Amino acid sequence: MKSLTIKELVLATKGKLTIGHENSSVDDIIIDSRKASKTNAYVAIIGENLDGHTFMQSAYEQGCRTFIKNESSGINLESSDINLIEVKDTELALGHIAQYYKDKFDIPYIGVTGSVGKTTTRDLIYGVVSAKFNSLKNEGNLNNHFGVPLTLFGLNDSHECAVIEMGMSHFKEIEYLANIVNPKIGVISNIGLSHVENLGSQAGILQAKMEIATNFDESNTLIVNGDDEYLATIKNTPHIYKLKTFGFKKDNDIYCEEYTMEEDSVTFTCIIDSNKEEV
C-alpha cells in the first residue's frame, strides 16, 4: 500500500482529527488489532459479536498510533502520542478510505459476482488477465463490505488491473461495493438460490446482482452467462452499456461448440464474433 497522510484519511472519511498531526502518515489500514503496528491505521469496526473499539488499547500496545473510531463510542485511549480520527460510522469510513485510495490508480477494474462459482470465475479471469498485466485480486473470500476495501488497500503503482469479486446477501450490498470499485467491466456468472431467503425470489437475486452495473454508461461492458434463464432476459431490456453473453447456446455472442478435456488442460472450440477460435 502507498502511504496515506492523516490529512487524507480525514478528507476521505469526512471525520475530525481530535488528537494528532495531519502530516503524519500510515502504510496500511487494518481492522484486526492482532495485525497492529506503528505503520498502520486501526479502524474500530463494530461487528455482530465484537466491538473493535474494545481492542484499541491492544492495538496501541502493539505499536499502532493511528486510530479511527465512532464519535458515538465512549471508549477512548488515554494517550497523547496518537492520531485519533472520529467519524460517524467506521464501517462506512473504511469504504470511503478504500474508494479514495483506489482512485489514485488509473487502471481498469473488473467486478465479478454471481450466485455460484464467482470465486472460480474470478480466478479464471485473473489467470487470463495476469498473463499480460500485473493484476490484483481478492484473497480467499474477502468479497464483502470489509473484504473488498481491504483488498483494494493492496494496490500499488505496479498494478495494471484489478479483478474484484463482490459478494452479497441483501439488496444494496453489491451497489455499495460497485460505488467503491466502480468497475469498467462487470461479470455475472449465474443466478441461483443463494440468499433467496433475504431476496424473496430468483428475480430478486437477479435484481441484486445487477447492482454491479449501478454506475455503468456507454463505456462499460457487462458480461453475463447467456444460458442462465434469468440473465438471458437482460438482452431484451433497455441498457446503455455494452452487453456480451457467453455460454453453449448459439444465440450468445460467444459460445462453445465443443471442448476436450485432457489430464492437465481443457481446450474449447468457440465462436467469438462469428469467428471460430480454439482456447
Residues 122 and 188 sit within 8 Å (Cβ to Cβ): no
Going by DSSP bridges, is the β-strand pair 242-247/221-225 parallel, antiparallel, or unpaired? parallel
229-238 average pLDDT score: 95
- pLDDT, position 279: 87
- pLDDT, position 45: 98
Instruction: Give dist(CA 217, CA 239) in Å, integer.
Output: 9
The CATH fold assigned to 4-98 is: 3.40.1390
Confidence of residue 126 (pLDDT cuts 50, 70, 90): very high
Average pLDDT of the chain, as a whole number: 96
**Three-state DSSP state, 160:** coil
Instruction: Give dist(CA 116, CA 191) in Å, integer.
Output: 8
Going by DSSP bridges, is the β-strand pair 161-165/109-113 parallel, antiparallel, or unpaired? parallel
41-68 average pLDDT score: 97
Q: What are the extents of the domains in the chain?
A: 4-98, 106-247
Going by DSSP bridges, is the β-strand pair 66-70/40-43 parallel, antiparallel, or unpaired? parallel
Q: Matching CATH topology for 4-98 and 106-247?
A: no
pLDDT in tens, 146-191: 999 999 999 999 999 999 999 999 999 999 999 999 999 999 999 9
**Three-state DSSP state, 246:** strand
- Cα–Cα distances (Å) from 4 to 154, 161, 197, in that order, read 13, 21, 41
Confidence of residue 92 (pLDDT cuts 50, 70, 90): very high
pLDDT in tens, 5-32: 999 999 999 999 999 999 999 999 999 9
Torsion angle, CA of 182/184/187/188, rounded to 10 degrees? 40
Confidence of residue 227 (pLDDT cuts 50, 70, 90): very high
- Number of Cα atoms under 13 Å in the Cβ half of residue 257: 10
**Three-state DSSP state, 68:** strand
Instruction: Give dist(CA 168, CA 116) in Å, integer.
Output: 12
Which triple of cell numbers denotes residue 219?
Answer: 463505456
Confidence of residue 273 (pLDDT cuts 50, 70, 90): confident
- Does pTM surpass 0.85? yes
- Number of Cα atoms under 13 Å in the Cβ half of residue 30: 21
For domain 106-247, which architecture applies? 3-Layer(aba) Sandwich (3.40)
